[in-house]
Amino acid sequence: MAQLYFRYGAMNASKSIQLLTVAHNYEQSGKKVMVFTPAIDDRFGVGKVASRVGISREALPISDDTDIFELVEQEADKPDCVLIDEGQFLSPHHVQQLTAIVDRLDIPVIVYGLLKNFKNELFEGSSHLLCEADKIEEIKTVCVYCNKKATHIVKFKDGKPVYSGETIEIGGEETYSSVCRQHYYHPPLDAVQS
């Protein structure tokens, strides 16, 4: 029986490389996967899943009007698994489409993404995934300032931590860092990014 998985973690927790590894493993076994990523994440190009270790692959871009269920259902050679990167950017209707893929097409769906934004609030997509997922799994990484588990994301503007502003600003290590709760609320005095 298929299930909806939500695998979340802070930035640099290896979410994208894990997605790429799962896709590779399915394909090495002669199985088919469909990989999707929100079009809003264009850091490496629209419709591309890329890991910081340099591995990438093409993916189907998800826009607000994309019907993921319909794309999967109309596929002549049905996939054995559907993989979604950057799940935090999904809209509620996309999450419902993923549940329909699992429940009506009996195809497992694995979604990777961030849980919270730099304001320490749940992303809308993540909130809906938490409510609908059959299995929720944390992918762990460590704080950039200590060895505690990273649970928060701090955003930098002009080299200084900020806690307000545009919620969605696509960026990588030059803009965001994964930190523990203590260092989110009390960053080191030298917590400056260049």
Q: Which residues belong to the active site?
A: 86
Q: What's at 82, amino acid-wise?
A: V
Termini Cα distance of the chain: 49
CB 96 within 8 A of CB 114: no
Rounded to whole angstroms, the Cα distance separating 183 from 150 reads 9
Beta strand extents in 32-189 (DSSP E only): 33-38, 48-50, 56-58, 60-62, 81-84, 109-113, 135-138, 152-157, 160-162, 176-179
Rounded to whole angstroms, the Cα distance separating 4 from 133 reads 5
Half-sphere exposure at residue 60, Cβ-oriented, CA atoms within 13 angstroms: 16
Question: CA–CA distance from 41 to each of 18, 49, 84, 103 (Å)?
Answer: 18, 9, 12, 28
